[in-house]
Structure formats: structure tokens, C-alpha cells
A and B are shown apart, each in its own frame.
Chain A
Amino acid sequence: MASMLEGSGLGLLKGMAMTFRHLFRRRITTQYPEQKLTLSKRFRGYTLVWDKERCTGCATCAKSCPQGNIEIVTSKGTENDYVVEKFQLDSGRCIFCGLCVESCPYDALFLGMEYERSSYRRGDLVLSRDKLLFTPDKQRSAYARPKLEPGLPRQTLLIEGDTGSKKR
């Protein structure tokens, strides 16, 4: 039966039925400014997060930066340590390779989870110490910091679950 009807235009009807069923499926578009997807836990994102308490001022991050982008100035402290006076980077030149985070021996540097970094002036992209400083409301990426991973939400690829094509 099926072979008898083959090539007589039934395929066209099947195709039209298929597209008609699509009319009632869930729409998978993310309406970006209103809806946002959860990023990967190891996302390499905007604003390096710098933990002042852990940093010893060794400047390993500055040496490992392929762009030579991190500027760090230290002075001798009172208790046989260094005080970081200046920690600054131009995020416009940052390539988000994460080498600084990987190289930090004291886990004092983290990558951020933001990605909206457009700005009207190039000067705004130069981030000083205060803007990089770690505060509890800043979300840190688990990139090269696996201990942070359990605390982060799972990545989502669609805005509301699956596309409704198959029942699982």
C-alpha cells in the first residue's frame, strides 16, 4: 500500500502536517533582555574578582598575563608581608584566557559570571582595585576553582526545559 502511493504527492501532505504540528510546539527562543539563560559553572566572564584577604601581592598573575595587562604595585607591610597598593587591569584588552586565575598560588583571583560589558567610554573598561574587590554579592566562576562548583546553579540551554518534542 505504502509503496503504491509512493511518489504521488503524499510526501507533500506529510510535510505540511509536520510543519502544522510545529505551530503548537513550545517556542525555544530566549527573549534576551527579559529572559536570561544560566551560564556554565566554569564560564570565563567579565570582571576578575580579587580577594584582598588572600592576596599576598606576589604578582604571579601579572607575570602570567599574555597581554601584560595586570598592573600590581606593592609596598612592604608591617608584619613581614606586602600591602597591595594598586591592582588594576584594562578589561578592554583582557582576552579572558584565565591564565592569571590558574597561576594564582593562593586562590585569590577568580573569573566573574557577567557578560554585559558594553560601555560608552574606553576609560570605563579600566578596572581599579575597588571594582575588582570580592564582595559576597559578586558571583564567582568556578573556572580553575573546582571547590566553588557545588554552590553554583546548573547551566540551562533552553529557557524553559525541553522543546516538547519527545516525552522523556
Chain B
Amino acid sequence: MDWWPLGNFWAHFAVFALAIIVFVLLMVMVFIWFERRAFGPFQMRWGPNRASPWGALQPVADAIKVLLKEDIVPAVADKWVHFIAPVVGFLPVLLIFAVVPFHDGHGLIPDMSIGILYVVAISALSVVGVFMAGWSSGNKYSLLGGMRVIAQMVSYEVPLVLSIISVVLVAGSLSMNEIVAAQEIPFFVLMPLGFLIFLIAAMAEINRGPFDLLEADSEIVAGFHIEYSGMKFAMFYLAEYGHALAMSAVAATLFFGGWRGPGDEYIGFLWFLLKVFFIFFLLIWARVTFPRLRVDHLMGFGWKFLFPLALMNVFVVAAEMIVWGEIDGGMPWWIVFINLPAALVLIYLWSRLFRFGGGRVGVNA
């Protein structure tokens, strides 16, 4: 890659760090707009359409509004923790993008040898910021929201990682760029069950859709950010959508073949963006369809349904790799015809065995 002018490490670092920050901030705005515009037709309405054509400047107007608002800190709050929590919540989200390959080998460090492990490690950190916010606000509801997010994160991290393991088994590498390079056939075709588990666990991980228990407007008002206003609140909002963007990007990389796609090799970035939007649309679709889960159902679903299914998925993929796989070539394409029925059968069988509320004591004496 001699034509690439950023051979110098520090120049490369500076340019891509700036590019990633701009990319995240811009895409968060686009995502907020996209989500609200997509929610409209789902609910037979229009969504924002006043600020400029198609309401495209609505997130800008919202951002200006929220930045100009008064910053209120509760009297009983732990001031420093309250102040630092939004930053702790947002920073890991930004750090995830360091290893995301936006184009063939282009990114901050897309060839990091432990890329996906780094993503898993970093993305779980943002929960610390959320819990700090919940604890430092000095509010019962926010503390409840903080406790919930910890429980949720711990439960859903396990199936998330297990579904990633199946990808790593087939790709034979932890590096994000090499995982993309290994996807002659996108992995969501090869491993439909793995993709489904990843998507559900990612939804829980980024606290969206039916898993937004930490906010739960109808139960604990706004959860962890109940005592936040102005710029700090905007920071949490940014972190929330940034995390959704990060998870969409990771899912696009792991299961949809990232920058790979038909056409000229220089439009790889556009393919990546398209796939990110597609996955985000799936998240919106799930969010608009399903009602919020109850707390015990959330834990039950995570540990009794997703976790065993993820284990079985890893087992199936590992067995297939031993029998038919090649270390460099990955799996043959006809594995699809085994994996898709296997996924359906496993989901069906496990839904027979899976029960909520085990160990509940009856009260009808």
C-alpha cells in the first residue's frame, strides 16, 4: 500500500482518531434521525418532518436545545462521580471503533491481532459509567436502573461472547479484518443461530428495544439518567446511540462481511455503511415490535434460553469444523443446509424445555 500517505504511525493515528470521532458524532445524529423517521411509518405517523426537508436537521435542533439547558446536580449527589459518569459511559463506545475495519485494512488499528476480544472487553466497560450515574445520583430509581443494567450486562455478555466464539472458530482469527477476509459467504448464512443469538444479546448489551430495563420509563421513570440534564444527559444519549452504532458495526463485520460486497473495491466503505444501517433497522424493528421484558423474565431468558443455545451453537460449529473444516479455507458452503435446520430444531426443542419461574412456591394453601 505505497500510495497510502499515512505510513507514519502518528500521522495515521491522528487522522483516524479524528475521523472516527467525527464519524461517530455524525452517525449518531443520522441514527437518531433514522430511528425516529423509521418509527413513524411503523406507528402510522410521519416522525420529525419540520426542521428542514424530511426533518433531517431535527437531531441538530435537539442537540442545540439540550446543550443550552441548565445543568442540574442534585444536592445529595456524589458530585465527582456524577460529573465523571457520562464520560466513563461514552469513552468505551468511542474506543470500540478503534478496531473496526471500515475498508480493507483501513481503520485505526483494523489488523489488531486480538481485535474482537478487545471489542468484547471494551464494550462491557460502558456499564461502569451507567452504574456510576445510577449510584451517584442519590435517587432510588436511578440506583435501581444501575443495578438492573449490571445484572443484564453480566447475563447477556455470556451468550454474546459464545456466539462470537463460533465466528472466530470458522474464521480462524481474532482480528476483525481477517474475519471479514474469511467471509467468502457471509457468516449469517453459515451460522444463522449464531447471528440470532448475537443480535439478541447485542440488543440487551446496548440496552435497547425490549431490553431497555435500565430506563423503563413506565417503571423507574428514566432509570440511571433521571437526575441528569443538559450536556451530561446529551452525553448519555450519545453513548446510547454510539453503542448501537458500534454494535451494528461489529455485527456487520462479524456476520455480514463488513466491507466485502460486489462492485469496485473502493466502495467497500459504502457496503459497510449499508450493512450497518440494515442491522440498525433490525434493531429498530425489534424495538418497535416487542414490549419490554420483566426483570425476572429477562434473567430467565438470558440464562435458561440464550446461554444453553449459544453453548450448543458453539458445539455444533466446532464439531463441523473438526469434520469438514479447513484451517485456512473455513467451512464448505453446503454447511448452510445443516446449520439452518439445526438452528430451527434447536430453537424449537429448547423452547419446549424452557420454563419461566422455576422454584416458585404456590400460595393456595
B is bound to A: yes
Which of A's residues lie within 8 Å of B, judged by CB?
5, 7-9, 12, 15-16, 18-20, 22-29, 31, 163
Please list 8 pairs of residues, one from A and one from B, whose beta carbons are closer than 8 Å in the complex, sorted by A's number.
Answer: A7-B352, A9-B351, A16-B289, A19-B288, A25-B44, A27-B41, A29-B45, A29-B46
CB pair A19 B352 closer than 8 Å: no
CB pair A16 B286 closer than 8 Å: yes
Give the interface SS of chain A, mostly helix, strand, loop or mixed: loop
CB pair B290 A15 closer than 8 Å: yes
Q: In the complex, which residues of chain A have a beta carbon less than 8 angstroms from the beta carbon of B43?
A: 22
CA distance A12 to B209 in the complex (A): 13
CB pair B285 A20 closer than 8 Å: yes
| Residue ID in chain B nearest A18 by CB atoms | B289
CB pair B41 A8 closer than 8 Å: no
Q: How far is the CB of B58 from chain A (nearest CB, A)?
A: 15
CA distance A25 to B45 in the complex (A): 10
* Contact-size category for B: 10 to 19
Q: How far is the CB of B18 from chain A (nearest CB, A)?
A: 37
Residues in B38-64 with C-beta less than 8 Å from chain A: 40-46, 49
Given contacts A22-B43, A23-B41, 5 further A-B contacts (CB under 8 A): A16-B285, A19-B285, A22-B41, A27-B41, A27-B44
Q: In the complex, which residues of chain B have a beta carbon less than 8 angstroms from the beta carbon of A28?
A: 44-45
A-B contact count (CB 8 A): 45
- Tell yes or no: B347 within 8 A of A by CB: yes
CB pair B44 A26 closer than 8 Å: yes
CA distance A7 to B43 in the complex (A): 26
Q: How far is the CB of B71 from chain A (nearest CB, A)?
A: 33
| Residue ID in chain A nearest B43 by CB atoms | A22
Q: In the complex, which residues of chain A have a beta carbon less than 8 angstroms from the beta carbon of B49?
A: 31
- Tell yes or no: B348 within 8 A of A by CB: yes
CA distance A23 to B38 in the complex (A): 8
CA distance A5 to B43 in the complex (A): 29
Give the interface SS of chain B, mostly helix, strand, loop or mixed: helix
Q: In the complex, which residues of chain A have a beta carbon less than 8 angstroms from the beta carbon of B352?
A: 7-8
Q: Say which residue of B40, B286, B288 sits within 8 Å of A27 (CB atoms).
A: B40
Q: In the complex, which residues of chain B have a beta carbon less than 8 angstroms from the beta carbon of A18?
A: 289
CA distance A31 to B47 in the complex (A): 11
| Residue ID in chain B nearest A16 by CB atoms | B289
CA distance A23 to B289 in the complex (A): 12
CB pair B45 A9 closer than 8 Å: no
CA distance A26 to B46 in the complex (A): 10
Residues in B274-332 with C-beta less than 8 Å from chain A: 285-286, 288-290
CA distance A27 to B44 in the complex (A): 4
Known A27-B40, A27-B44, A28-B44; judge A19-B289 contact (CB<8 A).
yes
CB pair A27 B46 closer than 8 Å: yes
CB pair B289 A27 closer than 8 Å: no
Q: In the complex, which residues of chain A have a beta carbon less than 8 angstroms from the beta carbon of B290?
A: 12, 15
CA distance A32 to B288 in the complex (A): 25
CA distance A9 to B345 in the complex (A): 12
Q: In the complex, which residues of chain B have a beta carbon less than 8 angstroms from the beta carbon of A12?
A: 289-290
Residues in B322-365 with C-beta less than 8 Å from chain A: 347-348, 351-352
CB pair B348 A8 closer than 8 Å: yes
| Ranked 5 nearest A-B pairs via Cβ | A8-B351, A29-B45, A19-B289, A23-B41, A15-B289
CB pair B45 A7 closer than 8 Å: no
CA distance A27 to B285 in the complex (A): 18
| Residue ID in chain A nearest B291 by CB atoms | A15
CA distance A2 to B289 in the complex (A): 22
CA distance A16 to B40 in the complex (A): 16
Q: Say which residue of A5, A22, A163 sits within 8 Å of B42 (CB atoms).
A: A22
Please indicate which of the listed interface residues B42, B44, B46, B347 has the most CB atoms of chain A within 10 Å of its own CB.
Answer: B44
CB pair A22 B348 closer than 8 Å: no
| Residue ID in chain A nearest B351 by CB atoms | A8
| Residue ID in chain A nearest B288 by CB atoms | A19
Q: In the complex, which residues of chain B have a beta carbon less than 8 angstroms from the beta carbon of A31?
A: 46, 49
Q: How far is the CB of B294 from chain A (nearest CB, A)?
A: 16
Q: In the complex, which residues of chain B have a beta carbon less than 8 angstroms from the beta carbon of A15?
A: 289-290
CA distance A8 to B289 in the complex (A): 17
Q: How far is the CB of B37 from chain A (nearest CB, A)?
A: 12
Q: In the complex, which residues of chain A have a beta carbon less than 8 angstroms from the beta carbon of B41?
A: 22-25, 27
CA distance A24 to B44 in the complex (A): 8
CA distance A25 to B351 in the complex (A): 33
| Residue ID in chain A nearest B349 by CB atoms | A8
| Residue ID in chain A nearest B286 by CB atoms | A16
| Residue ID in chain B nearest A6 by CB atoms | B351
Q: In the complex, which residues of chain A have a beta carbon less than 8 angstroms from the beta carbon of B42?
A: 19, 22-23
